[in-house]
Structure 1
């Protein structure tokens, strides 16, 4: 598996610091008073919302009774790695949850994605991604739009890596029948979907219309699984923005069970037939000037 990303390192540091404080039998308020911090500073550090300097970390470890050089270096290495954020050159262009997702993806051992309305971002063609982007953010154009599409294509390089997570994608049939960008763009997207489904380590399934209503219709989500201290992290995506992460065991367990249920409803062997049917539905129409329909959705 690839080296742990910065966001994952921060989450692991958060978990280890909280564990060390509990072991020292100190409350957050007691620690904050001893460190001469506001309680909110320690709360944000333990929540993984902010980083911590090496000087502050050394002092904090002493309060917890951790003086062993190897243990200290373990914590310091996590803190240093947590500050090495990917796609730094795009900061200010990308929303923080999306940047965090990029870091989580390269660090995961398994990535499970469900999408009821759109083709997942990792599987999108450049033309499809541009059409989606213009729909969600019609005010974005020119160089800024080109850079957003560049990020999408750069993100997809993970699918070509020898060391990569296993990817499981489930899509509702509605996503393959919605003409995003027009017939020509959609044909290219569907052909890409079929090709990607043949690659090792990538599973793509489609929940057919005949299933009727199902739990996945509550919305898209990404569930990332990790080796080590962090087990699962859930990414709940909102088309209107405000996407959020959660490592709450109950929430991740519910969505893992939901994903397994969706897998049962979407036999892998049905994908070529369902995609070919969607392609047939496009007919012979080829729109030479497809609608310019971004937000970068997962």
Structure 2
């Protein structure tokens, strides 16, 4: 009799503990990870710093980590232009894996260049798990042309242009000029596929990496935001995974018209059929949106 009572007490005690842990887990919002774009830094109060505050103000108790590539503001900005994308992604994967607050998973929001870089994180580093991925103005098929260099530093922009003019697929440029690593020349697809050190790899254009596909398909939602009046990204179709048709700099194709989709190199076709892909658009120029739009279209449906 005594043993039976003791066993019941132990059973109910464990049950209450487990229920308490479950309630605690359910009440804790999923953390968010942010990655800024070219010419920005993790904590700029006028850009990513503002976004972080908007999220924290609208999702009570959320942990937000804004990624810094380097040890200070200058390094973070400089590395956005001149640190190899693959090295940046490896650094971020290590940072995320070591952050105990992210061990149960996180939602990711990438801005412009940070968009395709966070997609690479999803494909290459599944632990900790990325839940929802929001790409805001990310160039998933790369770019071809810089109508105006983004960022606040004219010196860095001018240097970037000079280096790209020397030959975007020269090994030194590919290894050391970050935007060159997602530059796709529609007039020279053969050289792009052979020499692109980043984009051609993550877009499976030199062969299928089954792990990339498997990892990306683990996402609950992949949200892509396109800016209808974008004057920075050429072509803006890249923000929805489209690009210029081969041998053209004016005609574009959509994601659904691409071989990448039709042959399902990344699992995007399967994700689309499962309603995991979300295509949003806004009328602003590149990365120009209001707090109200961001809360209604990003925070409330995907970060809460």
TM-score by structure 1 length?
A: 0.28
Relative to its length, the structure with more helix (as a share) is 1
TM-score by structure 2 length?
A: 0.28
